[in-house]
Structure 1
Amino acid sequence: MSIMVLSKLQSSPQGISLENPYKKIMLEHAARLKEEANSPEFKMKEYYSTLTFAEESVPVENTAVKKKLGIYLDKFSFRKLRSHQMHAKADKYLPKIEKILKSYGIPSDFKYIPIVESGLDPSVSSHKGAGGYWQFMPATARLYGLRVDGKVDERKDFTKSTHAAARYLKALYDQFGDWTLVAAAYNVGGGSLKSSMRRQKKDDYYNLRLNTETGSYVYKIISVKEVIENPQMYGYKI
């Protein structure tokens, strides 16, 4: 019998393996995980999870939020806008805006609003009558200390209009207590936003059904922020 067993062992090229049968599967799984972790898709997923607005996480685990954010990140990229001029203006104005906002306790991400609103061009005006860096309506501008009449339009004064915007943002925060809602209210007006919240019984911007402009407003601010702060991720070439 012993001779037969020895003969069998010698006839097998591999012999009897005592290795854990699951080891190969585990190694293959680990290799796949490593490959996935180095893939562009995985890195983008990780990147999305770090996105914030006004120091609050963006709920990218919500598929609709992530998809919408992707659309605007692409729209504001260098590949689409050739946005070198936007970056040049950002370098000039954003540090000054941030300093003023900070003095009022406003999160620094609100410094991107004038880029979304006017492209930091004070001569821009809307068909509704909004104007200046921060696109104030005349009545709102006057309410927060700006002179707007036939002779003077202080909405076009960079420093004065930024102080007025900070006062307005501060007042909106006193109403809503949430910075993301403050951004939405800046666009649509506090009364209109409150009406939508009451009607829908929701107090989360990302879950509210709003008009197209307001429903995309925060996404635009986040996208401008990301393209300016991480230009090489969005097609910028030195």
Structure 2
Amino acid sequence: MRKKHLITCSVILVLVIISRLNIYSTDAAVAAHPIAYTPADLLFAKPIEEAEAEYNFADELLPVNDKKVDFKLQRSIAKHKYKHVQSNLLHAKADKMFPIIEPILKFYGIPEDFKYIPLVESGLKGGTSPKGARGAWQFMPGTARSYGLKVRRGVDERLNLRKSTIAACKYIRELYAEFNSWTLAAAAYNNGSIKLERAINRQNEDNYFRMKLNRETGSYVYKIIAMKEIINHPKKYGYDNYYSYLHKSSELPLVAMQPPMVFDN
């Protein structure tokens, strides 16, 4: 019995020695060839290309993982590429308008992304719409007057970019106060607050990207984001021959960067 006990103890001792040798050899191997661990936040982080491709309006992200949303956005961007537009007029208008619009938006606490609305509204054509809207912000006569613009024979302040931008800011602030969403405020700017409110109540839905709206309003915010894309990344969308204050302002003397006092559309 005692002999069996000694044999068992010997076997255990040998196993312990072998296991200790394996541990030390493993430690040595790890020291010689350390494993590169990836932190969880890096392992699941989006690639740089994807992170840069996130689209938003006034810091409200688009659900581009939704196939319908992504399709509508990409279609809108494609319509604004140089291959389709064949003109640098949009960038030229941005150069004239933005130095005037940006400080006014900031003063009224309106997100800077709203500066693209005049490019969407007046686009390549400008002028007066069939319904009577006019100017960079495409105000109807009645709406323009209600926000302090003079519209009468011989005087139309809708064509004064500075004054019409101030009027637009007052209007947009009211829309945001009503809908508590900059995206919905932009949609209401296009469709009117009453119609948008009815659509929200009827559909029991207040997410613009999940709502069913008329064709113009349903594509309106997508157009703004597309405009933002092509203005900020012109070469990416085929606009090679341009000179923009957005990209060259650091090279211009300070005096040359001062906006004119009045811009007429």
TM-score range, shorter chain: 0.7 to 0.9
2:171 matched residue in structure 1? 168
Report the CA distance shift for 1:115/1:56 in structure 2 as closer, same or farther (over 3 A): same
Partner residue of 1:223? Answer: 226
Q: 1:177: which partner in 2?
A: 180
| 2:89 corresponding residue in structure 1 | 85
Residue of structure 1 equivalent to 2:68: 64
Q: Secondary structure at the match of 1:101?
A: helix
Greater relative contact order structure (CA < 8 Å, 6+ sep): 2
Take 2:71 and 2:98, find their aligned partners in 1: how far apart are those partners? 28
Residue 119 of structure 2, aligned match among 115, 124, 130: 115
Q: How far, CA to CA, are the matches of 2:201 and 2:89 in structure 1? A: 41
CA distance in 2, matches of 1:78, 1:47: 21
Rounded to whole Å, the distance in 2 between the matches of 1:215 and 1:80 is 21
Q: Counterpart of 2:152 in 1: which secondary structure?
A: coil
Q: Which amino acid aligns with 2:203?
A: Q
Asked whether the 8 Å contact 1:117–1:133 carries over to 2, the reply is yes
Q: Please list every run of 5 or more consecutive structure 2 residues that lacks an aligned counterpart in the other structure.
A: 1-45, 242-265
Counterpart among 81, 101, 104 of residue 97 in structure 1? 101
Which residue number corresponds to residue 155 of structure 2? 152
Q: Secondary structure at the match of 1:130?
A: coil
Deviation at 1:96, TM superposition (A): 1.6
Question: What is the deviation of 1:232?
Answer: 1.2
Give the conservation status (yes or no) of the 8 Å contact 1:89–1:120: no
Distance 1:145 1:172 in 2: 17
Which residue does the alignment assign to 1:53? Answer: 57
Question: How many pairs were matched up?
Answer: 196
- Which structure has the larger Rg over C-alpha atoms? 2
Give the TM-score normalised by the residue count of structure 1. Answer: 0.78
CA distance in 1, matches of 2:218, 2:85: 21
Tell me the SS of whatever aligns to 1:105: coil
Show CA shifts across 1:56-88 (max 9, x none).
111101110000000010110111112312111
Aligned-residue sequence identity (percent) comes to: 51
CA-atom RMSD, angstroms?
A: 1.8
Is the CA contact (8 Å cut-off) linking 2:89 and 2:124 kept in structure 1? no
Residue type of the alignment partner of 2:173: K
Unaligned runs of 5+ in 1: 1-36
1:186 aligns with one of 182, 189, 192: 189
TM-superposed CA distance for 1:237, in Å, is 2.2
Compute the TM-score of the two structures, normalised by the length of structure 2: 0.70
Counterpart-to-counterpart distance in 2, 1:79 and 1:228? 15
Asked if structure 2 preserves the Cα contact closer than 8 Å seen for 1:172 and 1:185, the reply is yes
